[in-house]
């Protein structure tokens, strides 16, 4: 699979940065505006899927292989879990919001304690895992058995 035509490739080369930027914005501002780790992560996955669909399978080994994506998946869940454990050690409660925010820093980007950190972790996790599953689903080679091999055999078995 060598990918789609030149027009599609060029448009994707222009668009992929903006889609990625939008996804990162949605993840980072999840505690102030609509959005958050889930939707932002899916948007990031969509950006990579767009590149994958347009450029063909060859790009997978060069830019963003599925092994790297699998490791990012683990990194995301570890960030989330580490935030939870730090709350346990600092505040005594699992998932304690241990960074207290003053009232005047509300509605700023760096506010609300561990929520942005958790958002980043969730975004990495969702984006990477959905990209991996799409690559696996798209790249799987279907080996179709000959019809006479299987189905008739089983019918005979049943008889």
Is residue 104 involved in binding other proteins (CB under 8 A)? no
Is residue 97 involved in binding other proteins (CB under 8 A)? yes
Measured distance CA(46)–CA(35) in Å, rounded:
15
Task: Give alpha helix (H) positions in the chain.
Answer: 6-28, 37-55, 58-62, 66-91, 115-139, 147-158
For the four alpha carbons of 20, 26, 29 and 31, in that order, the dihedral sign comes to: negative
Is residue 42 involved in binding other proteins (CB under 8 A)? yes
| Interface region with other proteins, contact rule CB under 8 A, candidates 8-16, 56-64, 115-123 | 115-123
User: Minimum distance from CB of 120 to other proteins (Å)?
Assistant: 11
The string of DSSP codes covering 50-73 is: HHHHHH-THHHHHT--HHHHHHHH
Residue closer to other proteins, measured from CB, 20 or 32: 32
Encoded tokens for 7: 């027009």
Is residue 129 involved in binding other proteins (CB under 8 A)? yes
Q: Which positions lie near other proteins, rule CB under 8 A?
A: 26, 30-39, 42-43, 45-46, 49, 53, 73, 77, 80-81, 84, 94-95, 97, 101, 103, 105-107, 111-115, 118-119, 122, 125-126, 129-130, 132-134, 136-138, 140-145, 147, 150-151, 153-155, 157-158
């Amino acid at each position: 699979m060598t990918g789609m035509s030149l027009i599609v490739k060029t448009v994707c080369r222009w668009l992929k940065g903006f889609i990625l930027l939008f996804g990162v914005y949605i993840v980072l501002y999840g505690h102030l505006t609509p959005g958050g780790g889930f939707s932002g992560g899916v948007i990031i996955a969509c950006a990579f899927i767009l590149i994958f669909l347009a450029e063909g399978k060859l790009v997978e080994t060069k830019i963003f292989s599925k092994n790297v994506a699998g490791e990012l998946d683990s990194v995301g869940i570890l960030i989330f879990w580490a935030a939870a454990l730090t709350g346990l050690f600092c505040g005594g409660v699992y998932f304690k919001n241990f960074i207290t925010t003053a009232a005047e820093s509300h509605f700023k980007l760096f506010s609300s304690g561990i929520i942005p950190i958790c958002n980043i972790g969730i975004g990495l996790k969702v984006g990477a895992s959905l990209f991996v599953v799409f690559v696996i689903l798209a790249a799987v080679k279907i080996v179709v058995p000959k019809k006479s091999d299987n189905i008739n055999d089983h019918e005979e078995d049943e008889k």
